Structure 1
Amino acid sequence: MTLNSIKSFSLELDGPADAAFTGGEVVSGQVVLELRRDTRVHSMKVQGRGVATAHWLENRGMNSVYNDYTSKITYFRKRQHLIRGQ
């Protein structure tokens, strides 16, 4: 399959469009692949990653000295074969 045969590709998660997920929750949905013509697909896999980031400043003292903090947590990295090649 060549990239020009793909008309659209999307991942539609179950639940509301503005959903936020927490650790341990099950995330489910479907992959929607629309092709321009009949195409033979030998294999397909989806890779997902769940990441949360936060950034904040804290003011320390009367001299307006700021501490700059950043935090990043990766909740999951997952590869899933939807169609496995032969």
Structure 2
Amino acid sequence: MTFNTIKSFKLELDGPGDAVYASSEIVSGQVVLELNRDTKVHSMKVLGRGVATAHWLENRSGGMKAVYNDYTSNITYFRKRQHLIRGK
């Protein structure tokens, strides 16, 4: 199957579109694959990843000069690969 065979590929989550998930919550939904023509699919897998990124500045007054510390933090909460259709 080539990418020009795929008309659309969507992951529709069961929760509201603006949902925010916390640690240990279950995220569920369905994969919707629409094709341009009949196609044999031998295998399909989905990779999901939950990440958080934060960026902030802290200001320390250093007499006449303001000193800024620039911070960034990235955390990966999960990385899950799931076979939806497993090939032979």
Give 1:82's aligned amino acid: L
Q: Which one of the candidate residues 48, 66, 77 is aligned to 2:79?
A: 77
Aligned to 2:67: 65
Aligned to 2:11: 11
Aligned to 1:44: 44
The TM-score with structure 2 as length reference comes to 0.93
In 2, distance between residues paired with 1:14 and 1:32?
A: 13
Q: CA deviation at 1:2?
A: 1.6
Give 5+ residue unaligned stretches, structure 1.
none
Q: How many residues align?
A: 86
In 1, distance between residues paired with 2:3 and 2:72?
A: 37
Runs of 4+ with >3 A deviation: none
Name the SS for the 2:74 alignment partner: strand
The TM-score with structure 1 as length reference comes to 0.95
In 2, distance between residues paired with 1:27 and 1:83?
A: 20
